[in-house]
Structure 1
Amino acid sequence: MFQSIPSDSFYGDSPSANKELETPKPLDRRLLLKNRPGSLLENSRTWKVFDRQDEALAFAQARGNGLKTFVFHAGGSGTRQFLVAHPREFWLHDQLKEPHQRCSYEVIPEFTPCKLYLDLEFDRRLNPESNGPDMVEIFIRLITAKIKQQYSILVTREEILDLDSTTEIKFSRHLILQNQLCHFANNYVVGVLVRDVCNTIRCWNDQISEQYGISSDDVKKLFVKNRHDDLVLFCDESVYTKNRHFRLYCSTKPHKNAPLKVSKENQFKPPINDSKLREEFIFHASLISNSEKFLMDLPYLEASDGVIPRLAKTPKVHANNSSSKLPSPFPDVDQFVRGEMEVEGIRTWVYFKDSNCLIYDSQGPAFCGNVGRVHKSNKSMLIVNLTQLTYYRKCHDPDCRGYQSEPKSLPSYLVTLLQNPGCSSEIKSELKNILELLESDENILCDDY
């Protein structure tokens, strides 16, 4: 369930009030970027706090218009809560907090277009000879060369936002690519690209060195010792997971007092002179899934360890259809529903274009959640909402009129198959295995809490 809290209590105890709040007035317009779209104003005042991440993400998706989900620690308890707000509204309040109170993360929603991002880090105590800034420059040369090779897009150092939260103990950089031609279908795809670069580094030889114009001695500098005394790359390859939490600009980890700030080596320059507006510009640039201005997204379908396809649009069906025989226009959904309705069987299906819903009628009676048992004679239906990517059940029994079960999300592999109808059966099978494995891990991996 969600709570709503006043913005002046952000990070504090959540009151029991349960209403949607507006931005306190008057607004300090100096803190807003120029040309703020009027159509976003209503949504920019949304400020809702949820205890559960899935509810926050669903709310943000339903409202749309630039709303994002953020994570923060409530009061001094350390309990994580999830805030849905427009980034502009979030920044207005976050920048007023004391530095040690700014401890928030962006949620990178699964299957959401995003920028390329990198988390580069190592323990300075275990690697006193490692030169972090030099290592960053070498890795940037490698990743930009791979982008040019793969997509024929030239990326410059000036298009990379370079954020630093290095301490005496740990070297830590976040890099976020700002090239408007180079956005990716989702963070799984970014992960495939980054792992490809890392695997190239691990397999480095003279031929690769000549191809990239980078010496083997420079590449060796990218390896560091971890606490187990193993040699590993200083690029964290684990930050490309489902609904990833990634620390925000000017935020610190709890009790660390090491906020992410613009690094000395950063060459990405906002075209703004006003210092406050420049700070907000950098904040927006630092958001990974900030997709208000997308020119294209890039597929990256092949990987040595699996296949992660891009997310495209739901296939179009131009008229209502119905039949007593499968398949429907969505055979991958049919296969999923067969498993869900294995006991009662499928009698007919109907597709409604206007609502983008696919309804399957059962062959026999099925379990009804309303009465907690199988009806003696009345049958049921399973409805798949292809817009919301959910499914639920309804019952034909007169006593259950108006009842429907709680909607469930379609599995990730099915969502991806819906968006990629041209996938071969081999790719579909491999993709299903990969995403089911990812979904089986219930732990939310975060950016080094």
Structure 2
Amino acid sequence: MSSPLPVGKFYGRGGHRPKLGVCGDDSPGVVPFPCKSILSDPDTVRKVFTKQDDLLNYTRGKKLTPFVFESKDDGRRFFMASDPRVFWHYDTQRQPQHRHTYEVIREYANCKLYFDLEFDALLNPDKDGVRMVRIFVGVVMYFLKKIFGVECGESDVLNLDSTTSGKFSRHLIFLLPDAVFRDNYNVGNFVKFVCEKITNLAYLKIVDSKGRENLFCDTAVYSKNRHFRLYKSTKYNKTASLELAADNKFNRAESELEVFLCSLITYTEGCEGFRVLEFGNAPGNPKLGAVSRNPVHREPSPFPQIDRFVANLVLPGHIYRSSYFPTRDTIVYDIVGNRFCGNVGRQHKSNNIKYVFDLSRAVYCQKCHDPDCSDYKSEDLAIPAELIVDRGDGAGVTGERGVASDQSRSLQRFPSFGLTDSEILGAYNSLDYEKNDFYYHHRQ
């Protein structure tokens, strides 16, 4: 790893100290106010690198956040490791027009749900961006509740704005009450799913510079080690900084520093013990199936009686996760701690087993993750009679609180989200995701 650069690169070459009470400057000859009485050493350490890999290697295992800043002279990007409170202390002393700063959303780091919403205002003169954001937030809340059981309100959404006369631009950061996402790959999977489900919401669609029609949500900001612009920052050679939106209703921050900390995507201090939400697989992540270091609350499936039955069936093992496929009326339970496979008549050495419950036929079977047993399926066994209720067709399995499974899965009426009846009409079918091959995914 190359040696870090002096932090003076962040501000320019030093000289005299600015007068007390006057905002610092990154021009030559000006030294920033030192960081005192914020944190004790070594947390006040800041190091600057010319290569991102060196930054990420340095911050690995440390309570430091990786940041990026652009040179005011040529826009070249440098990388800084710092505690975010220390970074804010110094960044606020730079001239506003020179604050070109970003957070590095580290690969595989737990993170908040975030969005980049934008469109060319000149190409979309009929679009009301403020209303579009309000509708979009409502849609996201709907799916958070429907998929994860997570409830939040507009006061949990930090709404940042850098709109100009030519471009509408917002960043939304959801600070969920008791949950964070596994990483930004899982966030991206969730966001893309939501966007697919609302593709018929014409009011949220815009025309881009190439004449294509798209949703105004940018789905490209969930890539590896993504740079995401910071609160109060501008892009190089631009003048619009990222500020609190006029319609922002987030109410948890009492200072500018607290707004900044809340806006950081991977800053999850105070989230210990929160649920870790997953949605699909991250590309090339060998650790995705590992148990989270953060405790994950046990989440019941729509069929707690089945959960309890399986939990007893696999002792001394336990359920790692359950995946419910509504269109096939099937639950798949992945098991850890018990690898007994009926195909080989013994425990596998390394590969786990799973149980598949076909609720429509009231039967279950054992399958296996071992490559040699990939085609194996045990004989069907009857789901115990006490777990079955009559759904009118002579079969069925009880759902939560004894409600029949077809009733427990019935889709709620499509909420209005502030749309007119005619705008809703074309959206209902696409939002009815339970008609698609989608599953509920619960970590146990």
Q: Name the TM tier (shorter chain).
A: 0.5 to 0.7
| Contact 2:33–2:90, Cα closer than 8 Å, also in 1 | no
Deviation string for 1:279-298 (max 9, x for gaps)? 00000000000022223243
Question: Paired residue for 2:274?
Answer: 296
Aligned residue runs from structure 1 range 78-93, under 5 A: 78-93=75-90
CA distance in 1, matches of 2:192, 2:240: 28
Larger Rg: 2
Alpha-carbon distance, 1:123 to partner: 0.3
| Structure 2 counterparts to residues 423-434 of structure 1, below 5 A | 424=369
Mapped partners of 1:240, 1:52: distance in 2? 21
Alignment match, 1:69: 66
Corresponding residue of 1:215? none
- Following the alignment from structure 2 to structure 1, what is the Cα–Cα distance between the partners of residues 42 and 291? 24
Equivalent of 1:191, from 173, 177, 188?
188
Q: C-alpha distance in 2, partners of 1:6/1:421?
A: 53
- Taking a change above 3 Å as real, the CA distance of residues 78 and 85 of structure 1, as seen in their structure-2 partners, is same
Deviation at 1:45, TM superposition (A): 1.3
Which residue number corresponds to residue 134 of structure 2?
Answer: 137
Residues 301, 310 of structure 1: 8 Å contact kept: no
1:267 corresponds to 2:249: yes
| Contact 2:186–2:280, Cα closer than 8 Å, also in 1 | no
The amino acid across from 2:217 in the alignment is C
Contact in 2 for aligned 1:2/1:48 (Cα 8 Å): no
Q: In 1, distance between residues paired with 2:204 and 2:280?
A: 25
With the length of structure 2 as denominator, give the TM-score of the two structures. 0.59
- The alpha-carbon deviation at position 97 of structure 1 amounts to 1.0
SS in 2 for 1:224: strand
Which residue of the partner structure matches residue 155 of structure 1?
A: 152
CA change 1:74–1:237 in 2 (3 A) is same
Change (3 A) 1:2 1:300: same
| Worse-matched range after superposition: 85-94 or 72-81 | 72-81
Q: CA deviation at 1:180?
A: 3.5
The alpha carbon displacement at 1:43 in A equals 3.6
Q: 1:126 to 1:25 in 2, by over 3 A?
A: closer
Can you list the C-alpha shifts for 1:6-60, whole angstroms capped at 9, x where unaligned? 35x415479xxxxxxxx9876465xx5xxxxx6xx32421111111101101101
User: What CA distance in whole angstroms lies between the structure 1 residues aligned with 2:36 and 2:285?
Assistant: 48
SS in 2 for 1:114: coil
Q: Over residues 371-423 of structure 1, what are the superposed CA-to-partner deviations in whole Å (9 max), with x where a residue is unaligned?
A: xxxxxxxxxxxxxxxxxxxxxxxxxxxxxxxxxxxxxxxxxxxxxxx9x9999
Q: Distance in 2 between matches of 1:309 and 1:300?
A: 13
SS of the residue corresponding to residue 45 of structure 1 reads coil
CA RMSD of aligned residues (A): 3.2
For residue 122 of structure 1, what is the amino acid of its counterpart?
A: F
Aligned to 1:2: 3
Match of 1:283 among 232, 252, 260: 260
2:246 maps to 1:247: no
- Number of the residue aligned with 1:42: 41
CA 311–110 in structure 1, closer or farther in 2 if over 3 Å, else same:
farther
Sort the Cα spacing of 1:11 and 1:313 in 2 relative to 1 into closer, same or farther, 3 A: farther
Whole-angstrom distance in 2 between the partners of 1:253 and 1:311: 37
- Measure the CA separation in 1 of the matches of 2:262 and 2:370: 39
Task: Tell me, in whole angstroms, the C-alpha distance in 2 between the residues paired with 1:75 and 1:265.
Answer: 31
Number of positions where the alignment pairs a residue of Structure 1 with one of Structure 2: 284
* Residues 116 and 184, structure 1, Cα contact 8 Å, conserved in 2: yes
The separation in 2 between residues aligned to 1:421 and 1:75, in whole angstroms, is 57
Structure number with higher helix proportion: 1
